[in-house]
Amino acid sequence: MLVVLLVLPVANASTPQQHKDYPQGVSSISPGSDLWREVRQRDLPISGITQVQGVESGVLINADGDRWARFRIENPVRYAPIVLLVVVAILVLFYALRGKVGIEGGLSGRMVKRFTDYERVVHWTLALLFLFLALTGLILLLGRTLLIPLFGHQVFSLLASASKESHNLVGPIFLVSLIMMVVSFARRNIYEKGDLTWLLKGGGFIGKSHVSGGFFNMGEKSWYWMVILIGLAISISGLILVSPNFGQGRVIMAISHVVHVLGAVILIAVSLGHMYMGSIGTEGSIEAMKSGYVDINWVEAHHDRWAQQVKENDEVLTAEEFARLHGRIPESTDNATGQS
């Protein structure tokens, strides 16, 4: 009897018995591990009953969480830097082969008002907010891979935390500036006759004939609508991500994340080309957003239909008039005064 009493517990231990109050598949030996294993791997619906009210609060374990994490690492994190580096390489190669696109005959010094002060403030506000959001967003997306090896975990933790908070705060302001951009520039960015010809000739880079353009050419209009439409998609998806209490579930959050990242990478990539063409890529372009005025020779080269309008309306300022308007005295006037 003593031997039987000693062997019986061992036999019972080797064949775990299911407790009458436990779910099927959960033994009385390790109920915790068995319970979570059954919850995670079972084929039954993953949602249960809970007193906690909220979106998907009855889901104990999100079985798609690991798959989503792998998707994020294997796609956006992997391909986003490749896309941006390819764009930068193309711009560097283009500048090395073509250089700055000049104006035939050079700049004349005669200026035409292109943008008001308010329009330039709207543009620079949107541009600076976009650059800030792009920088902080890239830190959050790629920082773990690129910055931790350079600065270590502590510095990256500080950068990531600051980037997350500031990104979430500045995002809604970007949406406001985007709406201001629509109000200020939408009317002049409506497509019109002649724009398709500009597109087919690559803005003048294909062929040798002159490409006609209005106040905004086809390229500028397309960039404008890309900023507005993709910017709205980024803003709306960002609000969904930063405000989970709206009632959206994990699937909506995951889709919003993909839209947010994909739209941001596209907009950053194309904005590199926009910044290049508006600064070192084209002679005379940067002046439009510096002073609001552009040289008449630049207007005739890129926006000939608008050039004809400003000439008919007598809106072209001489170099002396432009200098006097901005409180500057041209060198020719100084020489003439000294000679007299």
State how far the Cα of 295 lies from the Cα of 214, in Å rounded to an integer. 15
Cα dist from 321 to 100, 112, 283, 293, 316, whole Å: 28, 11, 22, 12, 10
State how far the Cα of 103 lies from the Cα of 89, in Å rounded to an integer. 25
Cα dist from 266 to 176, 180, 216, 220, 301, whole Å: 21, 22, 22, 16, 29
Would you state the pLDDT for residue 314?
Answer: 92
Q: Which CATH class is domain 113-190+211-328?
A: mainly alpha
Q: Delimit the domains of the chain by residue range.
A: 113-190+211-328
State how far the Cα of 160 lies from the Cα of 162, in Å rounded to an integer. 6
Write the pLDDT tens digit of every residue in 303-312: 888 999 999 9
The residue among 197, 190, 200 whose CA lies nearest residue 224 is: 190
Does residue 170 register a pLDDT over 90? yes
Residue 246 CB-density burial (10 A; 0-12 exposed, 13-18 middle, 19+ buried): exposed
Quickly count: other Cβ atoms within 10 Å of residue 225's Cβ: 14
State how far the Cα of 23 lies from the Cα of 57, in Å rounded to an integer. 20
CB 289 within 8 A of CB 120: yes
For residues 14 and 177, the model is more confident at 177
Does residue 335 register a pLDDT over 70? no
- In the chain, the largest separation of any two C-alpha atoms, in whole Å, equals 134
State how far the Cα of 32 lies from the Cα of 26, in Å rounded to an integer. 8
Write the pLDDT tens digit of every residue in 100-132: 888 888 888 999 999 999 999 999 999 999 999
Which residue type is seen at 124?
W
Does residue 261 register a pLDDT over 60? yes
Would you state the pLDDT for residue 14?
Answer: 47
**Tokens 């880079």, located at residue:** 205
State how far the Cα of 223 lies from the Cα of 203, in Å rounded to an integer. 13
